[in-house]
Structures are given as C-alpha cells and as structure tokens.
Amino acid sequence: MALRAVDFLPRSAEEALALEDYEGCAPRWCTGCGDLGILTAVQRLLRDEQLPLEKVVFVSGIGCSSRFPHYMGTYGFHGLHGRALPVAEGIKMRRPDLHVFVNTGDGDCCSIGAAHWLHAARYNMDMTVMMHDNNIYGLTKKQASPTSPQGTRSNTTPRGSDLAAFDPLIATLGMSNLSFVAQAADWIPELLYKIISLAFHHHGFSFIRILQRCPEFLPDHFEPWVQDPDRMLILTHEDGVQMSTALSSVYRQTADHDPMDLIQARELVGTSERIPVGILYRNPDVPCYEDLRRSRQLQTPAMVSAGLEEELDKFTIWPMV
C-alpha cells in the first residue's frame, strides 16, 4: 500500500488510528510463517499506543524477517545484510523523537551483523530490537544459520551441520552495558504482545529473541514445544510478564523471576530443560548513548534546510557568468 501525503497530516484528538492505518503492503511470507504473528502483535501495539505514523520507523537488514518495513504503514528503511543496527543508531541519534524498531533474523544478526549487535547492546540506544529466530536461512532457501541445531540438514550442510547451535540469549546476557533482554515465541500471541510492549516502554536497547516457525524449510522444528506446553517455562514477575487466567491454565510451568537478577537470568538460559519465555533481564538505570552525547533538542526545519544546502553546495557546478 503506497503512502499518501495526507497520511502524515496531524489528526484531531478525537480521530483515533485504527489497526488498518498501520498496515503497509500485503505480506508475502509463506502461509503459517511465524513472522505473520509478530507483524500482528506489532501493529496491535502501535494501534494501542496510538503512535503517529510519522513518528515511527522500522529498520531491517536482509532476510525474510527484514521485509517487515514493507508491511508497515510507517516510515521504514530496508538496508544491507547485517547492517540494520548501525542504520537505526544513526536515525535515533539524529532524530531522538522517533520510535525506532529493528527487525532482524538469526543470520542477519548473529552472523554478518554480530559485531554491530554486540556494540549496539553496549551503546544502549533507545530502540526495540526483534530478532526473528527460525534457526534457518529462509529467504535464500534453506542454508544452515548460526542458530541451526547440530545435525541440521540443509543446502549448505547436506550431511548435517557439525557445530552446536549458537545461543543468542547466552551471548547477549554476557555483553557489556546490558539493558533489556527477553524471549518470546510466535505461537503464544498473548505473551508475544506483552513482551514487545514491555520492550517498547523500556528506555534503552531492548533485545527480544522471538522463536519463529518456518513452515517451508523447518516445518516440524518447533512442534514438540507447540504441542506440549509443559516444555515451556513462563517467567512471571510483578515487574515483568503476568499471564491471564486462560493462558495460565494451558502453560502451567512457571517461574517467579526477578528481571533485575542477571545471575539467575544466565542460569535460566544456560541450564533450563524448558524454553524460558518472558523478561530475562532489565536494568532501567543504564544510560542511553544518545542522552550522553547530545541533548534532546530537535532540529528545526531551518536548521535542516541550512545543513542540506551546505552539503549540496559542495557538489554544485555554478554556471559561468
């Protein structure tokens, strides 16, 4: 869906934005793809928060998950493979008033973009980062990714992958200047929405690993956890996720986990026999890089125009008089 100029005109206080206002092009993901559930959760969040379309930007790299900006009715930047985070950091530094979201995949983030990921966590800029982890390269048609389980047969590992899977949560919880880490699953929509919402409201670098099903190349991979809720461990806390009565009747394996307890968070992802879902770690006191480097004073239109003119003048070929 193409955006019109009128879509960004100020709306009256009585004119609420509907879910459809946040929709972009029709999604082209495969039927049953977990990315569809993530898209719905994010669009619901923006609708519930009534975020102005012109104040939201989605940034992505390359991969199935990175088509996300095309499907949102907001601003978006579809960048290079693994380079979503530095682009998002540049946007946030220049426009701290914008709500910045990043969508990246397990290959995009944990392979070619791994160095950017490490330093983005350290810089702790205020943005919500969703890593769609389906354990496979989907857009390029089934190659083993860093998070593919050992023994995965793919186009690049036809006899089975040799290395043990890389764990993004263990890696993130060991990074410096950590601010917010969570895990969600696309097949538990109630918790997926709540976790993304908590990440959005956190002031700092909010990293969510989202377990995301790929029906085309790993159709049965997450089925044991989908079919048996007791294999999931829901992390609850008064400062974290809280479940509805209906959901708690299905997901009965819970643990009261304080998100401020980094040591316990590391133990949960490193030793738990079940997949933990919820807020693993949160520290609201870590300063954001953009706050340290500059004030939140916005650039005026005149300042933006003057800056553009100054740069363009460097390349102007003036006519002979």
What are the C-alpha distances in Å from 148 to residues 79, 82, 83? 24, 18, 21
Query: Can you count the helices (H) and strands (E) in the chain?
Result: 11, 11
Q: What is the mean pLDDT of residues 163-180?
A: 96
- Residue closest to 278 by CA, chosen among 244, 231, 243: 243
Token pair listed for 264: 């316990």
Q: What is the mean pLDDT of residues 81-105?
A: 96
Residue 273: predicted pLDDT: 82
Q: What is the DSSP string of 132-162?
A: EE-SEETTTTSEE-TTSPTT---SS-TT---
Residue 297: predicted pLDDT: 60
User: Could you give the residue ranges of the DSSP H alpha helices within 133-240?
Assistant: 168-172, 189-201, 223-227
Position 129, amino acid: V
Token pair listed for 89: 């950091």
Position 87 pLDDT exceeds 70: yes
Residue 1: predicted pLDDT: 46
Taking only the tens place, the pLDDT of each residue in 122-160 is: 999 999 999 999 999 999 999 999 999 999 999 999 999
Token pair listed for 2: 């193409």
124 CB neighbour count, 10 Å cutoff:
24
Q: Go through the domains of the chain in sequence order and give each one's CATH number.
A: 5-313 (3.40.50.970)
What are the C-alpha distances in Å from 295 to residues 96, 112, 290? 9, 32, 8
Cβ-Cβ contacts under 8 Å for 254 (sequence gap 6 or more): 233, 234, 235, 236, 243, 248
Position 312 pLDDT exceeds 70: yes
Taking only the tens place, the pLDDT of each residue in 218-247 is: 999 999 999 999 999 999 999 999 999 999
Q: Which of the four pLDDT bands, split at 50, 70 and 90, describes residue 293?
A: confident
Q: What is the mean pLDDT of residues 255-274?
A: 92
Residue 295: predicted pLDDT: 54
Q: Which residues of 76-88 are buried (b: 16+ CB within 10 A; e: fewer)?
A: bbbbebbbbbbbb
Q: Which of the four pLDDT bands, split at 50, 70 and 90, describes residue 316?
A: confident
Residue 107: predicted pLDDT: 94
282 CB neighbour count, 10 Å cutoff:
24
Helix, strand, coil content of the chain in percent (nearest 5): 40, 20, 45
Q: Which of the four pLDDT bands, split at 50, 70 and 90, describes residue 102?
A: very high
Token pair listed for 119: 């330093």
